[in-house]
Amino acid sequence: MEIPALQGLAAERQLMTMERPLQAKEQQSSLRIGVPGERSNEERRVSLAPSGVETLVASGHEVYVESGAGDNSHFSDAEYSDAGGQVVASAEDVYSKSELIVKVGPPAGDELNLLQDNQVLISALHLGATTAEFLQSLMDLRITGIGFEFIRDSDGSLPIVRMMHEIMGSLSVQIAARYLESDEGGKGVMLGGISGVPPSTVVILGAGVVGEWAARTALGFGAHVIVLDRDLGALRSLEHYLDRNVTTAMATLQYIRQAVLSADVVIGAMMSDGDRSPMLVTEDMVMGMQPGSVIVDAVIDQGGCVETSQPTTHSKPVFWKHDVLHYCVPNMPSNAARTATYALTNVLVPYLLQIGRTGSINDALWQNVGLRNGTYAYRRYLTKKSLASSFGLPHRDIELLIASAI
């Protein structure tokens, strides 16, 4: 005999809906991303490798790649096409089809005329070559400009700058090793020496990221490495990371002079945020170096650390002064174009995916502190006070602009 009360309860349970918490989905937006080729003869990198294009396309985005954009990094059009990118014939096609442009260097010359209203531009800004006319063009077109140099995450790190500095540090030692060889006019010595022959001495000025990676690479060659810096804490950290395999000293005039006179290689790697690199090695110190020694001033784009340094180019990278060979190319990562492109891709793709997930650049800037810090132009305003002051242009706080949805 059924009990009516229990029977009703069973029926009621069958009719009741079972509540389940539903996870709110982020608003996904399909981006049209453009990858134009670089116009500078000295720039061999491209902003995205085919692997990055494949990730973006798999996430529902369209990527337009200018034909030949990856040639100097040894990425073919076929690789981009196989990754799902749409290879187009010209830069004009890339700019006209895209809402977001990602480049290595900023648009220059005729490229400025290709920019479209309200586009997003992610690239290096190249502060030393920036003009008021370029910035005004971006503001007139209501461009959102995000600069590699400014992208700073919540932990204070500059991810793209750090990647390039790691490459600069490693490359500086590779380059020095090559120019020490007799064929290049150097002393005819190896960095690491051999059994019974002592290694070369590499003096590194600066214990920052460039200096650290220069030291790591020089140690890998087997060189005797001396690092000088004005920051005792930075020297302590470097000794800790490298297990005290380097010799460190404060960058006093006495220690610098002693180290440079004994050096086979001097690498300039010391930087000052927002200022010129400190001039640590004087001309008379260079005159005292052994003939055939090598100076690689890796921070020449910030003025350099050596008094005799002058900017050179990839086509003419070196010059001789006081029988010492100087290598002073400002854009060193371009000489390792493929590695540098992969490094850029690893950092840039997560930011591009974030923009797509949020649904708009406005929301992405609000949610992502790295992108927000990287923004120097937003709609009709500059959002970096120092940049605006340098060129006498109007400035607005980025957070206020985003909040007001201007």
Range list of β-strands (E), 186-331: 201-205, 224-229, 247-250, 265-268, 294-297, 318-321, 324-327
The token pair that represents 85 in the structure block: 């990118």
Distance CA 344, CA 331 (A): 15
CB 61 within 8 A of CB 352: yes
List active site positions.
Answer: 126, 301
Give the H or E element holding residue 377. Answer: strand 375-378
The residues that bridge with 194 in the sheet, in sequence order, are 197
DSSP letters along 224-283, please? EEEEEES-HHHHHHHHHHTTT-SEEEE--HHHHHHHHHT-SEEEE---BTTBPPP--B-H
Radius of gyration of the chain (CA): 27
Q: How many CB atoms lie under 10 A from the CB of residue 113?
A: 10
- Residue linked to tokens 């902003």: 47
Distance CA 347, CA 345 (A): 5
Give phi and psi for 120, each to the nearest 5.
Answer: -105, 130
The token pair that represents 376 in the structure block: 């120097």
CB 152 within 8 A of CB 373: yes
Distance CA 246, CA 223 (A): 10
The token pair that represents 147 in the structure block: 């600069």
At 240 the three-state DSSP class reads helix
CB 53 within 8 A of CB 63: yes
Distance CA 305, CA 285 (A): 12
Distance CA 143, CA 95 (A): 13
C-alpha angle 167/173/178, rounded to 5°?
A: 120
